[in-house]
Amino acid sequence: MQQDSAQFTRILHKLKSWSNEIEQSESFLEDIKGELLKDTIYVFTPQGHIVELPANATALDFAYHIHTEVGNRTTGAKADGSIIPLSQPLKNTQVIEILTSPNAHPTINWLRLAQTTNARKKIRSWLNKNDDSLIIDKNIIAKKKMEPASQEPAEPVVPVTEGEIVRSVLDQSRLTFRVGEEKNMMISLAQCCNPRRGDDIIGYVSRGRGIIVHRKNCHNLKNMTEIEERSIEVEWETATPRLTRRFRVVSRITLDLFAEIEGAIRKYRGHLIEGRLDDGEQDRLIGSFTMEVANEEDFKKVVKSIKAIPSIVSISSL
């Protein structure tokens, strides 16, 4: 509580100073808002304690600010009593409640959702200690996926970025690499196997040259140092337009519904653009979602998969 009082005292001193200077100004409140909340937000715990976070912080950042174990066991969050996705930026004065489960744990996707250095550091630490399928070296995150290779000289690894595993490769002349929301990362095609669109490909992180894309059956892969640790999943971006679809769900109360719906979408290579869950009547959750899929057939598969979620009562297109 002493920390809370100190924060309020600091704010009140600022308010008093500005009030003396611009007492007659019609833009007084806007000046206060712009200065106070420019880089920081203030949210509350259910017990009324103030938590100061950077602008754009998410519920995961809040959870890890409270305690490492709270963050590691997070399954969802509520803002002012309504369930929100873990990816949603928090807003000033919201009361944030973290939902936890003893069976929950961090996933690689959390590094995209978390915005603060503190939260990302704790997520990386857990993944390094507990997930043998991942290699996290500084800012590189890669999935182990190839058999161990011979140890011959090759260029060492270079940090690339934080975020999810490779999403897509765009074109063959100036290739870019998508990691989470980051797209403008240079990669190049390997000259030894000259991969073409449609080939099964894999990325190799190399110092000075960024990510080099090889065919998966390239004979040179077995000669590269630490190929298991330095390989990254890549794929060609589809040339066909993707469909955008919206749908509404009604569900019984459950802690992990958002994650289950997102998983059903990813299962058929879809992409969740926007999602929202709110408390409804009679112990129901009401959700609206916007997603991208390759075609109508995949959308039908996603809908079928969501219908199979035990808590789902109904799903309908919007």
User: Which residue has better confidence, 139 or 13?
Assistant: 13
pTM, to two decimals: 0.41
Average of pLDDT values for 131-144?
52
For the beta sheet containing 243-252, the strands, ordered from the edge strand earlier in sequence to the opposite edge, are: 271-279, 284-293, 243-252, 312-317
Q: What is the pLDDT of residue 308?
A: 93
Q: What is the pLDDT of residue 305?
A: 94
Q: Answer yes or no: are the C-beta atoms of 102 and 76 closer than 8 Å.
A: no
Taking only the tens place, the pLDDT of each residue in 89-124 is: 999 899 999 998 888 888 877 888 888 888 988 988
Binned at pLDDT 50, 70 and 90, residue 9 comes out as low
**Does CATH place domain 243-317 in 1.10.10.10?**
no
% of the chain with per-residue pLDDT over 70: 65
Q: What are phi and psi of 232, to 5 degrees?
A: -135, 140
Write the DSSP symbol of residue 65: H
Binned at pLDDT 50, 70 and 90, residue 33 comes out as low
Q: What is the pLDDT of residue 112?
A: 80
Closest alpha carbon to 83 in 251, 246, 211, 219: 251
User: Which residue has better confidence, 298 or 256?
Assistant: 298
State yes or no: pLDDT of 250 exceeds 90.
yes
Which residues on adjacent β-strands are paired with residue 244? 292
State yes or no: pLDDT of 166 exceeds 90.
no
Task: List, in sequence order, the alpha helices (H) in the chain.
Answer: 2-21, 28-36, 59-66, 68-72, 110-113, 117-130, 227-230, 257-267, 296-307
- Give how far the C-alpha of residue 41 lies from the chain's centroid of Cα atoms, to the nearest Å: 20
Binned at pLDDT 50, 70 and 90, residue 66 comes out as very high
Average of pLDDT values for 294-307?
91
Average pLDDT of every residue of the chain? 73
Average of pLDDT values for 122-146?
63
Q: How far apart are CA 25 and CA 12, in angstroms?
A: 18
State yes or no: pLDDT of 249 exceeds 90.
yes
Alpha-carbon distance values, 16 to 11, 31, 32, 114, 305 (Å): 9, 13, 11, 35, 57
Q: Are strands 243-252 and 312-317 parallel, antiparallel or unpaired?
A: antiparallel
Instruction: Break the chain into its structural domains and give their ranges.
Output: 39-129, 147-232, 243-317
Q: What is the pLDDT of residue 165?
A: 31
Closest alpha carbon to 287 in 272, 297, 268, 269: 272
User: Which residue has better confidence, 133 or 71?
Assistant: 71
Q: Is 39 left (phi over 0), alpha (psi -120 to 50) or beta?
A: alpha
Both tokens of 8, joined, read: 């309020």
User: Which residue has better confidence, 1 or 74?
Assistant: 74
Q: Answer yes or no: are the C-beta atoms of 14 and 35 closer than 8 Å.
A: yes
Both tokens of 17, joined, read: 């100073």
State yes or no: pLDDT of 45 exceeds 60.
yes
Half-sphere exposure of 31 (CA within 13 A, CB side): 14
Q: What are phi and psi of 206, to 5 degrees?
A: -130, 140
* Long-range Cβ contacts of 17-20 (<8 Å, 24+ apart): none
Average of pLDDT values for 45-55?
90
Binned at pLDDT 50, 70 and 90, residue 312 comes out as very high
State yes or no: pLDDT of 21 exceeds 70.
no
Binned at pLDDT 50, 70 and 90, residue 277 comes out as confident
Lowest-pLDDT choice from 26-30, 56-60, 153-157, 261-265: 153-157
Q: Is 26 left (phi over 0), alpha (psi -120 to 50) or beta?
A: alpha
Alpha-carbon distance values, 254 to 91, 110, 278 (Å): 24, 20, 12
Q: How far apart are CA 268 and CA 251, in angstroms?
A: 22
Q: What is the pLDDT of residue 224?
A: 79
Q: Answer yes or no: are the C-beta atoms of 159 and 193 closer than 8 Å.
A: no
Return the amino acid letter for 91.
Answer: K
Q: What is the pLDDT of residue 315?
A: 94
Give the other-Cβ count within 10 Å of 222's Cβ: 13
Q: What is the pLDDT of residue 36?
A: 52
Q: Reduced to 3 states, what is the DSSP secondary structure of residue 179?
A: strand
Q: How far apart are CA 271 and CA 245, in angstroms?
A: 10
What is the CATH architecture of 39-129? Roll (3.10)
Binned at pLDDT 50, 70 and 90, residue 139 comes out as very low
Closest alpha carbon to 140 in 175, 164, 116: 164
